[in-house]
């Protein structure tokens, strides 16, 4: 055999082997767009329609009802097509979470709410995500004013009925029905709330994936693991802030995972739980390593230029898309690098 034929045979063998390995490891979708079409929950994992485990990685907006410190930018302004393109191309994100406070200033149930504007922002987000082959999470951001989601159950049902009807044909929309129940809100109350809101969504969008918050600011996945909901395609929220929550919380998460609970980290920060101070690369890296090992999706708080550690954009930067690395904060640079290395 001449030299050329030998080289050709080796080339063919190596190519066949490489393609085989990629297919076997289920990385075909990963190598491409990182968009997998309609998702489903299978066992404890988020999967594509063929049952292959997938991971979503991306960023959450700050509250779309809030404005920047100087009032120049509404945080909903970051929800636009060009921004999503930047997040996809330069951050390798495949999901954006749109955080809409249920309460607090301008939140959906607050008396200052501009519901039309909030819904228009969500609409922009769903369409921008679809146009860019990305997923979008519509987050009912329960937090401080009424930490028990049952308090605004009626408004939540009407909101989720509206959006799930409107986006029933979109396979990129994920519904997060209560960000972080807290102040002693029990799992029993959350289940009661979920059993009323989930059927409303499912009536319009039967196969949709839904994320349910857990007690104590979405930390008590252990409680949910012992008593999960009866619905299919449900993920349970687990949130952490790397400089506050460490090994004991990582154990709590892995224990719930080992018990079979499908978990989604719909919010995490690289800093203190306050969202300000304590940027911690080492602990953030440890978390990401664990999440990747368990194939758990993760969404960073937050896409905005507020002068606080969690923000990914510098407060001096007024751009609402097309950010360069120099426009990013310490946390933003870490996020870009981390998602790019996945
Ligand atoms: C924080 C924001 C901050 C805002 C505060 C109250 O970063 O600018 O003033 O909310 O609205 C959460 C919440 C998330 C918090 C974040 C940081 O889901 O809304 O954002 N955090 O405190 N849970 C744990 C931490």
pLDDT of 23 above 50: no
Q: What is the mean pLDDT of residues 42-58?
A: 96
Q: What is the mean pLDDT of residues 136-157?
A: 98
Q: Which residue owns the Cα nearest ligand 1 atom 6?
A: 144
| The pair of three-digit structure tokens given for residue 4, joined into one six-digit string | 């050329």
Ligand 1: lining residues by beta carbon, under 6 Å? 104, 143, 179-180, 217, 239, 241, 267, 273-275, 301, 306, 308, 310
Ranges 65-74, 132-141, 173-182, 196-205: which has the least confidence: 65-74
CA–CA–CA angle 171, 299, 313 (5° rounding): 115
pLDDT band (50, 70, 90) for residue 342: confident
Q: Residues 264, 297: contact at Cβ < 8 Å?
A: yes
Q: What is the mean pLDDT of the chain?
A: 93
Q: Residues 283, 246: contact at Cβ < 8 Å?
A: yes
Q: What is the DSSP secondary structure assignment for residue 152, as one 8-state letter?
A: G
Would you say the C-alpha torsion 301, 187, 155, 164 has a positive or negative sign? positive
Mutation probe of ligand 1 site: the residue of 67, 143, 311 with most atoms within 8 A of C-beta:
143
pLDDT single digits (tens) 304-337? 999 999 999 999 999 999 999 999 999 999 999 9
Q: What is the pLDDT of residue 25?
A: 36
Q: Which CATH number describes the domain made up of 29-340?
A: 3.20.20.80
pLDDT band (50, 70, 90) for residue 26: very low
Q: Residues 99, 141: contact at Cβ < 8 Å?
A: yes
| The pair of three-digit structure tokens given for residue 228, joined into one six-digit string | 């999960």
pTM of the shown model: 0.92
pLDDT band (50, 70, 90) for residue 2: low
103 CA from centroid of ligand 1 (Å) = 13
- Among 30, 104, 267, 283, which one carries the catalytic annotation? 267
Cis preceding linkage at 325, omega within 30: no
143 CA from centroid of ligand 1 (Å) = 8
Name, in order, each residue with C-beta under 8 angstroms of 327's C-beta and a sequence gap of 6 or more: 313, 314, 317, 319
Bin 209: left if φ > 0, else alpha if -120 < ψ < 50, else beta: beta
Whether 176 sits among the annotated catalytic residues: the reply is no
Q: What is the pLDDT of residue 183?
A: 98
254 CA from centroid of ligand 1 (Å) = 24
330 CA from centroid of ligand 1 (Å) = 18
Quick one: which of 166, 240, 178 has its CA closest to 204? Answer: 166
| The pair of three-digit structure tokens given for residue 301, joined into one six-digit string | 């708080």
Q: Which residue owns the Cα nearest ligand 1 atom 24?
A: 273
Mutation probe of ligand 1 site: the residue of 275, 299, 302 with most atoms within 8 A of C-beta:
275
Would you say the C-alpha torsion 280, 285, 288, 289 has a positive or negative sign? negative
DSSP 235-272: EEEEEEETTT--HHHHHHHHHHHHTT--EEEEEEESS-
pLDDT of 100 above 80: yes
pLDDT of 103 above 70: yes
Whether 267 sits among the annotated catalytic residues: the reply is yes
Q: Which residue owns the Cα nearest ligand 1 atom 13?
A: 143
CA–CA–CA angle 321, 323, 324 (5° rounding): 160
Q: Residues 334, 313: contact at Cβ < 8 Å?
A: no
| The pair of three-digit structure tokens given for residue 23, joined into one six-digit string | 């297919």
pLDDT of 139 above 50: yes
Percentage of the residues of the chain whose pLDDT score is greater than 90? 89
- For the chain, the residue count is 342
Q: What is the mean pLDDT of residues 257-277?
A: 98
Quick one: which of 45, 100, 37, 96 has its CA closest to 235? Answer: 45
Mutation probe of ligand 1 site: the residue of 301, 305, 312 with most atoms within 8 A of C-beta:
301
pLDDT band (50, 70, 90) for residue 218: very high
Quick one: which of 39, 44, 40 has its CA closest to 228? Answer: 44
Q: What are 99's strand-pairing partners?
A: 139
Q: Residues 190, 181: contact at Cβ < 8 Å?
A: yes
Q: What is the pLDDT of residue 22?
A: 39
């Amino acid at each position: 055999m001449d030299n050329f034929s030998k080289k050709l045979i080796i080339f063919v063998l190596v190519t066949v082997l490489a393609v085989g390995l990629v297919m076997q490891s289920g990385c075909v979708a990963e190598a491409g767009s990182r968009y997998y079409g309609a998702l489903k929950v299978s066992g404890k994992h988020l999967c594509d329609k063929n049952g292959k485990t997938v991971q979503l990685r991306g960023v959450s907006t700050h509250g779309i009802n809030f404005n920047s410190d100087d009032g120049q930018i509404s945080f909903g302004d970051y929800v636009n097509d060009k921004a999503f393109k930047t997040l996809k191309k330069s951050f390798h994100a495949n999901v954006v979470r749109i955080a809409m406070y249920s309460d607090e200033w301008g939140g959906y149930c607050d008396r200052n709410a501009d519901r039309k504007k909030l819904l228009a922002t969500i609409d922009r987000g769903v369409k921008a995500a679809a146009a860019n082959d990305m997923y979008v999470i519509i987050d009912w951001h329960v937090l401080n004013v009424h930490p028990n989601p049952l308090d605004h159950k009626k408004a939540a049902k009407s909101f989720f009925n509206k959006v799930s009807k409107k986006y029933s044909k979109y396979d990129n929309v994920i519904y997060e029905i209560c960000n972080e129940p807290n102040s002693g809100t029990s799992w029993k109350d959350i289940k009661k709330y979920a059993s009323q809101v989930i059927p409303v969504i499912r009536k319009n969008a039967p196969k949709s994936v839904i994320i349910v918050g857990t007690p104590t600011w979405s930390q008590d996945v252990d409680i949910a693991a012992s008593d999960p909901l009866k619905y299919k395609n449900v993920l349970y929220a687990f949130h952490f802030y790397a400089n506050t929550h460490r090994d004991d919380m990582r154990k709590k998460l892995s224990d719930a995972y080992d018990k079979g609970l499908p978990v989604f980290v719909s919010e995490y920060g690289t800093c203190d739980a306050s969202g300000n101070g304590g940027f911690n690369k080492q602990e953030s890296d440890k978390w990401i390593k664990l999440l990747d090992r368990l194939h758990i999706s993760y969404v960073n708080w937050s896409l905005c230029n507020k002068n606080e550690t969690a923000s990914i954009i510098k407060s001096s930067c007024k751009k609402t898309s097309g950010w360069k690395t120099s426009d990013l904060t310490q946390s933003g640079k870490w996020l870009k690098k981390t998602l790019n290395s996945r």
